[in-house]
Structures are given as structure tokens and as C-alpha cells.
Structure 1
Amino acid sequence: MYLEGRVLERPIATPVSGRERGTAFPLPAPILVYDFFSGCGGTSEGLRAAGMKPVLGLDLDREAMATFAHNFRDAAAVPRDICHLTTSEIEPLFEKERVSPVLFSACAPCQPFSRQNRQRKEKDSRVSLLKELARFVLRFRPELIFVENVPGLQTFSESDDGPLHELLELLDSNGYKHSARVIEAQAYGVPQNRRRLVLVASLFGEFDFPQPTHGSGEGFHPVKTVRDAIGHLPPIKAGASDPSVRNHQACALAPQNLERIRAVREGGGRRTWSDHLKLDCHVGLKGYTDVYGRMTWDRPSPSLTTRCISLSNGRFGHPEQDRAISVREAASLQSFPDRFEFLGSLNSQARQIGNAVPPGLSEVIGRAMVAHVQKHLERS
């Protein structure tokens, strides 16, 4: 049986039947979410908040799957490589008689397509992950498909044999209408500067992206800031935690790094250091000015990476406390709710958060997809 290890000690969850459904969902039947490359479950968390029902989380990262299993107790958490998974192995997770619309989320790891990945290799095995999704699309024909990645995926896929191009050809030949857009997460209420490519494909027709809700000007909500996201959390010191708040733990700092962060003001960086604090590798270097920097209270945070709790890997310093942001603060800046708990080592938790789709973004897109399906049902 493919469900092995601590992550999946419980049996496979099966989709609820029509009689078991409540009336909380905006559709006669909830949209069922099958989250490929789910990581810890950022996409699933947002889609659940939009009224959908997560059924499957699939990811090779076992610690991420432990987090998924912990937070989605009614879903199956499968710690497997999609390349070695057959369609028949997940068939028990589908309704025998299709009642609920099905959504496939396919937010594959973004590192192969990121500009920050200066060691990107054309033969990176992760590039083929979207191709693997095709087997499952052809077998189960989900009504909806949701893909999120860095904008570089679009550039990387301009050639005829690129992974996105091949996926779009598959969708075209199988009756899907697809819409893609590069969006700014902060324009939809996420307190972070995060630019992403979002693709939605549907068997119900053309999908209309929701309009931005946050920004400057009349009719917009103010952009959410670092203060909005983490200002309510209790102060802690570097290397300490607060047990009253889930995952509110910060990495320890060596004495010299503690001195370095103390020499940086809110919004500042390493350029203000005195000579004895400067690293040899930074002498004469014009770039990498964000490392060892502090965030600004009243602006969105920079884009979080898989090393978002490390002071030396970006502008991840707390605006005023002498430390890097905690795991909980990183999660809040990714728009995870405080009740969402992360498992694994500190480094693993940071990786899970940095790789995640912000739940606040997937919720907004999810609500638009629910409205899209509802509109189709009303017409039919």
C-alpha cells in the first residue's frame, strides 16, 4: 500500500457523499481539491477558506506532508514522488459517481524557473513535474485546474517543448479554456511583495480573474503591511520561542551577527555597518544589499524564500527586535492563519513556508472559481 510512514497512519480519506454535505458551501456540492505538489498546504488552506474541500495532498517532502496531514485531518496525505505514482493508486479518493466538481492544484516547485536560481540547469528533474500532471488530467478530467508559479515559468516555457507550453497544448486539445495572468499578491491582501504567474483552466468556459482589492486610490483597501501581519505577536529574543503562540520561534544568532543586526535601523541594511562588522565577501560588492536587512513596519514584506528565517539570506530581520523573523511571523507574512501549525525542523518549516502559495491569494482565486462554477450551473 502506498500510504506508508507516520504521515499516513490513518486510512485514506474518501470524499463525502451528498447526504453528508452541509449547507455551508455556496454550491450544491463542494468543489473537491486534489493538491499535487502540495507542500505544507498553502493552496489547500486558501481553497478550504473559499468553501472547497481538500481531499488529497501529494508531495515528495515528508516533513511538509506531516504538516499537511496535521492541518487537513480529513484529507489523504501522500508522501510520494508523482513520477512514481500511478493514476490507479489515487482512484479510491474519487467519487464513484461524480457529483462534486473536481479541482487539480499543480503548484510545482518554482526554483527551476526563478531568476534567483543562478545555477539553474535545463535538465533539472523538477522541470518535468508539470508534464507528469498530464497523466492525471487525462485520467480524471478535473473540471478546474489551478497552477501558480514564478513568472519565470512563462519565459522558461516559450519554446515548443517547454513544460507550460506542453500543458497548454494538452488543455486545448481536451476542451479546457485557460486564462493566465501575472499578479501581485499584495494587490489581493497578502502582506508581501510577491509576483506570481497564475493559470486557471476550466471545462466550464473562460475564467475571469478577480480584480485587485488592495492598493492606492479610491475604491481600494490599503495594502497590508508587516505591522498588520505580525504586530500582534509577542516579542521574543533570537534563539527563543513563545509557547503561547504556535511556531513563534526564532533562530539563534552568533554574537557578531547579533551586533550586526543591532547596527541596522528599521528598513536598513548592511551599508550602515562599521568596518569591523563587514564581511570580506561584501567588500566592493554592490549587490545583495538586502542580506542582514530589517523589514519596514508600514510596508509589505519582501518576497519570502525557503530561507526566510535566516538573517544572512535576505531582508528577513524583524523591524525592531534584534533577530530574524520567527517561523510564525514568516507564516503570517505568507497569510497563513495563526491556527495553522508547522511540523519538522526550523529549517524545514522555513522551507515549507517559503515554498507555499499564500493562502490569502489562493482563497481569492478560489472564491472566483466558486463563482465561476456557480455561474455555469445557473446557465445550464
Structure 2
Amino acid sequence: MIARKVTRRRSASRRPAGATRKPTIRAVDFFCGVGGLTHGLSKGGVRVVAGIDIDDACQFPYEENNEARFINKDISDITASEVRKLLGRKSLTLLAGCAPCQPFSTYSRSARKAKAHADWSLVSAFGEIIKRVKPDYVTMENVPELADHRVFKKFLRMLDGYRIDWKIVECDEVGIPQTRSRLVLVAARKGEIKLKLPKVRKKATVRQAIEDLPRIVAGGSCTSDPLHTSSTLADINIKRIKASKPGGTWRDWPASLRAPCHRKKTGKTYSGVYGRMEWDKPAPTMTTQCYGFGNGRFGHPRQNRGISLREAAIIQSFPRRYAFVKKGDPISMKSLGRLIGNAVPVKLGKLIGATLVDHASRQRKKRKRAGRRAP
């Protein structure tokens, strides 16, 4: 079914006298989730008109924070004519997509192989939509491991006629406070295109991102922001986090606190769990289980708890007041952790949007110069 149309009006922008109007790019965001990529593209100057996702839990955060419709459909049920109607005919067009990345992720192992082929097909399905719609621009974001898989090579072949640039982006090098690596692709039907990602001089840190948030305890929440809620911790885990050093491992604990699996020879190499973040370094990659102290290095640098959902969202570069649930609705750590961990960092989306708008501006100037030279 197609969700209700968002009726909030875009505020009128006032340009200084003599300023040049930027080209309008209308976009549809496939696998949109809670709107990380949509929100970023919008901040970069792209007008996203709709987001498509099979997960109806994404509808409220997507529509509440973005001036776009949420369409609750599987990509295989979307027709090219529907997409063309959404995009219209008077603007440049963009199809954006971030297919579920679990089958390609290093977190995935043989247990997921049976399911993987179904998920791989989503990348190809996105390519098929592109072939039929023929938008002016395409962008895709995914995990780096996708680049080594045959489905990515197939996807590139499906972009026949496009100029393409793709690279592996280190998020902490572009101002996002986490060590997240992503494959980012941009493509244009006309003119060479290069992904423009200016590197920052100093990497963003956990301290800069979340230090000023109100203090809470394990299992507690902030009265002014229910999303600033952390998971409860068992007594043994309270003792463990108190014994944990920022940047350290469970090897820093007394032997009595170590988990039975870590005492075995086979478990001694797994040091990347039950860890605290460091204030003055980027956070680790936010995963779908980033709210759990035992699921990675997701312990708060100073407070004896795992990071809150709001802290995870901020590390994903969502605005601090991005609404993920309706006022008064219960907070589900598992559900919201999944939505936040799966999201495209907003700042990365903004950089992609700015790249596309800049390319469109340069192409328009090129056409104008060519027109003036014509006899």
C-alpha cells in the first residue's frame, strides 16, 4: 500500500539578488529505512520526493523528519511507470539505493549464505529499475565487501551509458565520528562525474558528538528525550564495565569477571566485545546491536552503561532532534537499534547530494557556454 502523502510545505528559500538558482534534482530513495540518506541528500540540495521500503516501522521517522512520502512496498512490486510519475518530467532525476548489506558484511558468515542469494537479488532489482527509468543520476551506498562480489560487477554493467565513479569511503575522514567504511557510487548520464568528499583535518570524536548529553544510568532514560535510553545491565556486566578501560578489552578484567567462552583457547582472540569507546577517537561502526555493551565496543567512555539510542543516532550523524518514535510510544531497543544501525549516515548523504548538485550546475553552465558560442 502507498502511505499518506506528507502535506508539510517546504519553506520558501530567499536568495540574494543576483544569486544563481541551483538545478533541481528530484529523487526517489529505494531501501530508504528511517531516512538517513534522504535527509542527507536533502541537506545537500536534492529534492527527495519519496522513499520506498518494505519495513513499515520506518514510516513514522521517515515522514516525520523529511518532506517526502513513504511507500511501503517491495522493490519487485514497484513499476517503472510508478517511479517516473513520482519523479516528474520537469527536473533532473535521481534514483538512490542502499540495498540491505548483511549478506556482504564481514559480520555475515556461513549461517546467512542460504538467505544471501535473496538479498543479493535486491541489488540487481535496483539495477533493473534504473535500466527502465533511465534517471539522470544514480547513487548507491553499501558495505565495501560488495565490490568483490559478482553482483556488483553485474550492477556496473547495468549502468551502461552512464559515467561512473565509486570509491571506498572512510566515514571518520569526512567528519562522521565513527570508523565506518562504505562503498559509495555516483553515476551520471551526461558528463564525467567524480565523488567529491573533502577530507577533514581532524577526525570527529566521540567526545565532540555526545559528551554534553545528560547523564543517565544503565537501563535509564532522559525525561526530555526518551530516545536517550540505555539498555539494562546484569550485575555481572555492571562489574565488567566498571573494570573496563576506554579502548581496552575484557583482558583488562580480573579473571573472575571473564566470560567462560573467553577463558577457552578458541575465545581468546575475540577481544572486540565488552569494550568502552574512547573520548578522543571516533566510535566503532554503529551496528544493529550498537546499544549492547557486550555486542562490541559500545560501552560509554565514562558512564557505566552502553551507549543510548540517541547517542548511536548522533554518531550516525542524525540531527539531535530526529524523531524515531511517536510521542508516548514505547522505546524498543532491539527495533530502534536495528533501524539506526542500518541507516546511511546523514552527513555522508549530504556529501553525495552536494556532489550531484555541483555536477548538475557545472553541466548547465557548460550548456550555456556552448549556446553562446553557437552561430
- The match for 1:373 is 360
- The match for 1:360 is 347
Q: Is the 8 A contact 1:14 1:55 kept in 2?
A: no
After TM superposition, the score normalised by the length of structure 1 is 0.88
For residue 204 of structure 1, report the CA deviation from its aligned partner. Answer: 2.3
Q: Is the 8 A contact 1:186 1:300 kept in 2?
A: yes
- The match for 1:340 is 322
Q: Is the 8 A contact 2:131 2:159 kept in 1?
A: no
- The match for 1:160 is none
How far, CA to CA, are the matches of 2:308 and 2:47 in structure 1? 30
1:194 alignment partner, one of 168, 171, 180: 180
How far, CA to CA, are the matches of 1:358 and 1:26 in structure 2? 29
Structure 2: which amino acid aligns with 1:121? K
For residue 244 of structure 1, report the CA deviation from its aligned partner. Answer: 1.6
Structure 2: which amino acid aligns with 1:375? R
Mapping for residues 135-214 of structure 1, pairs under 5 Å? 135-157=128-150, 163-172=151-160, 175-214=161-200
Seen in structure 2, the aligned counterparts of structure 1 residues 341 and 257 have a Cα distance that, compared at 3 Å, is same
Q: Is the 8 A contact 2:205 2:282 kept in 1?
A: yes
SS at match of 1:200: strand
1:130 paired with 2:123, answer yes
Q: Deviations over 1:107-157 (max 9, x none)?
A: 111111112211341652111101111332133211111111111001122
Structure 1: which amino acid aligns with 2:91? S
How far, CA to CA, are the matches of 1:14 and 1:103 in structure 2? 22
Seen in structure 2, the aligned counterparts of structure 1 residues 371 and 26 have a Cα distance that, compared at 3 Å, is farther
- The match for 1:52 is 46
For residue 66 of structure 1, report the CA deviation from its aligned partner. Answer: 2.7
For residue 251 of structure 1, report the CA deviation from its aligned partner. Answer: 0.8
SS at match of 1:198: strand
With 99-108 and 118-127 compared, the bigger mean Cα shift is at 118-127
Aligned residues: 355
For residue 365 of structure 1, report the CA deviation from its aligned partner. Answer: 2.1
1:324 paired with 2:318, answer no
Seen in structure 2, the aligned counterparts of structure 1 residues 15 and 59 have a Cα distance that, compared at 3 Å, is farther
- The match for 1:121 is 113
How far, CA to CA, are the matches of 1:77 and 1:230 in structure 2? 30
How far, CA to CA, are the matches of 1:246 and 1:71 in structure 2? 17
How far, CA to CA, are the matches of 2:269 and 2:100 in structure 1? 26
SS at match of 2:319: coil
Structure 2: which amino acid aligns with 1:52? V
Seen in structure 2, the aligned counterparts of structure 1 residues 15 and 199 have a Cα distance that, compared at 3 Å, is farther
What is the percentage of aligned positions where both structures have the same residue? 40
How far, CA to CA, are the matches of 1:225 and 1:298 in structure 2? 5
SS at match of 1:39: coil
For residue 242 of structure 1, report the CA deviation from its aligned partner. Answer: 0.7
1:87 alignment partner, one of 77, 80, 95: 80
For residue 368 of structure 1, report the CA deviation from its aligned partner. Answer: 1.6
2:232 alignment partner, one of 243, 247, 252: 252
- The match for 1:217 is none
For residue 15 of structure 1, report the CA deviation from its aligned partner. Answer: 11
For residue 91 of structure 1, report the CA deviation from its aligned partner. Answer: 4.5
Seen in structure 2, the aligned counterparts of structure 1 residues 123 and 241 have a Cα distance that, compared at 3 Å, is closer
2:283 alignment partner, one of 301, 315, 321: 301
Q: Deviations over 1:316-346 (max 9, x none)?
A: 0000101000001001111111121113622
Q: Is the 8 A contact 1:15 1:94 kept in 2?
A: no
For residue 171 of structure 1, report the CA deviation from its aligned partner. Answer: 0.9
With 274-283 and 176-185 compared, the bigger mean Cα shift is at 274-283
Gaps of 5+ in 1: 158-162, 215-219
Structure 1: which amino acid aligns with 2:283? S
- The match for 1:78 is 71
- The match for 2:373 is none
SS at match of 1:247: strand
For residue 299 of structure 1, report the CA deviation from its aligned partner. Answer: 0.2
For residue 47 of structure 1, report the CA deviation from its aligned partner. Answer: 0.8
For residue 206 of structure 1, report the CA deviation from its aligned partner. Answer: 1.9
Q: Is the 8 A contact 1:186 1:223 kept in 2?
A: yes
